[in-house]
Amino acid sequence: MLECEPHRRTPEAAASGPSGIGRAYRPTDVGRPAATIRSGTAATTPDNRQRFRVANVFYGIATSGGTLAYQKQAPTREAADKLLDGRLAAPFAVDANDTLYQWDASGDYNPSPGLELIEPALLAINSADDERNPPETGNIERELKRAKNGKLYMIPASEETRGHGTTCMAKFWKEQLQEFVTTAPRRPFMPGPQSAMHQSKAA
């Protein structure tokens, strides 16, 4: 199963550096130079830690949660302020350097070149309100055609979905996954070199 990650980066984009809406929203460059990030001192000053807290909250709201769900939770200015204030006041135990490392590690991620090599049945899941992987770009439909047995399930947006966070909620896709697992063609087991070696030792 391929979960909610359309191939938003072309090989050309991967070669030229970070791109894609998810990267554009990243909270990792707020208030400190790259040298500070790489030196491991991003979280050591109060100012930097507060900047990261604010950036992390705004990033979360902007790129995960779902438009309809947020409208239901905060239909008025007062409700929106309360939601934001609550998140800003919440305990902040995230390690800034760990988060920076996670984002930097994905900077050159590009699965596109190997899609034709995927032969088994593949189920891609995305949600219609995914902010980081917006379906309206058509990326996932276009790239999925390159996988021989690829199939897409798009979760309809609703007041119950949570945008990019929707695929973390199994109730929205468990039936489709169960059907996929039970109907996917079975392939004969082909032991690799390690399996063959263990079998010969056991004999």
Do 119 and 87 fall within a single domain? no
Contact between 115 and 10 under an 8 Å Cβ cutoff? The reply is no
Number of folded domains that form the chain: 2
Helices (H) and strands (E) in the chain, counts: 10, 3
Query: Is residue 1 classed exposed, middle or buried when 0-12, 13-18 and 19+ CB atoms within 10 A define those classes?
Result: middle
Q: What is the DSSP string of 133-198?
A: S-GGG-HHHHHHTTSTTEEEEEEPP-SS--GGGGGG-GGGTHHHHHHHHHHSPP------HHHHHH
Do 96 and 124 fall within a single domain? no
Specify if 8 maps to a domain: no
Helix (H, G, I), strand (E, B) or coil at 69: helix
Specify if 1 maps to a domain: no
What pLDDT tens digit does each residue of the chain (203 aa) get?
334 343 334 333 433 333 344 544 555 455 444 444 445 555 556 777 788 888 889 989 999 999 999 999 999 999 999 999 999 999 888 777 887 888 788 788 888 899 999 999 999 999 999 999 999 999 999 999 999 999 999 999 999 999 999 999 999 999 999 999 999 988 776 666 555 555 555 55
Specify if 191 maps to a domain: no
Q: Residue 42's domain spans which residues?
A: 14-105
Do 23 and 100 fall within a single domain? yes
Do 136 and 160 fall within a single domain? yes
Do 89 and 140 fall within a single domain? no
Specify if 188 maps to a domain: no
CA distance 118 to 199: 27
Do 24 and 65 fall within a single domain? yes
pLDDT at 10: 38
